[in-house]
Amino acid sequence: MMARRWLLLLGVLLALLSGPARADNCTIASSDFAFASVSSISSSDVYASRTFVVTCNWTNFLGSLLTPNVTVCLTLGGGTNSSASDTATRQLSNGGAVVANYNIYTDASYSAAKVWGGWAGTNTASQGIAFQLVKSGGVGSLTQNVPLYARLSADATLAANAVGVDNAAVTSNFGAGSALMQYQFSLTGVLGCLIPTGSVAIPFQVSSTVINDCNISIGNLAFPDSGMLSGTLSSSASMSLRCSKSTLYRLLLSSGVNSANPAARRMKNVNSTETVLYQLLDAPSGNAWGDGNNGTTVVSGQGDGTTVTKVVYGKVPSQSTPSPGDYKDTVTVTVQF
């Protein structure tokens, strides 16, 4: 009777050891990085962040005892529209001439040492993501959040884009050939991911829209003080203009707040209704610069991605001298593109 009991216990133990094949596994929930739209002449980088979630599952009680440790390795290559080997700088593109430099980092320092890499044959091959999870207490799951940080660079590459009037959607896609999670269940985890138990592709997309743009700034135009307006007074103001490469633009000057005629603007005394006639010109002795109405001209050109200077020339013609005081007007500059 005793022998039969021992044989029965041995049979149960053997049945446990030779039970169903283990299906311990890890999965990853990824998400797309969508940068906000960026001007091709922007001087500010654009940022996006996402958190990928890794879940590892122990499905067999004995397995959780014999291999409680899982090592997870996340590696990233170039993605589409980027170099297969130079992952220190990755690129978004519309498949044509519009390109934007970006990268994905493992922390918010955005340093070169924190670029997510690890893909064999790249210049960031040593910069993969690796971590271990240890399970206790039998079957179940453990989860690890992986925060990631992306930056799109406002650099010379971005400024060199000839975007066009329709703007340009730029992307880079990742998947089986460029983003991979490998994992290994083991007793101690000392082998890392050298002999992976499983391998899973990490599909996601990085995207942005590069927009056609112009920026403009101008200072005040101040005429010299004068006791009498018996002669012409002249002055000028510089305007800084930067437009996307190959962008056609037009610069319009309003008639001001004291006149409806851009060819005959008026400065008004700040303490009365008296006014002084003045003009704005496109050259020292050039044409009246306005919005195209009343015989005025509109200055036009084509951007090259760099900042250029335009000069507005002012003239106060000889006229009856009003009462002394400060005379002012406000003119709006509009750039059409």
Residue 170: is its pLDDT beyond 70?
A: yes
Of the candidates 157, 127, 124, the residue with the CA atom closest to the CA atom of residue 45: 157
Residues 66-71 have a mean pLDDT of: 92
Same domain for 122 and 156, yes or no, is yes
Of 183, 211, 239, which one is at a domain's C-terminal end? Answer: 211
Boundary (domain end) residue, out of 211, 237, 263 = 211
| pLDDT on residue 319 | 97
Number of domains in the chain: 2
pTM over 0.85: no
**CATH code, 257:** 2.60.40.1090
Residue 15 has pLDDT above 60, yes or no: no
Give the tens place of pLDDT for each residue, 244-282: 999 999 999 999 999 999 999 999 999 999 999 999 999
With respect to residue 263, please indicate whether it lies within any of the assigned structural domains. yes
Selected residue with higher pLDDT from 20 and 121? 121
In a domain, 13, yes or no: no
Q: Of 307, 263, 311, 305, give the one whose Cα is nearest residue 288.
A: 263
Q: Which domain holds residue 207?
A: 21-211
Nearest of 195, 61, 186, 201 to residue 132 by alpha carbon: 186
Q: What is the mean pLDDT of residues 35-64?
A: 93
CA–CA distance, 178 with 200 (Å, rounded to integer): 11
26 inside domain? yes
Task: Assess contact for 103 and 40: CB atoms under 8 A.
Answer: no
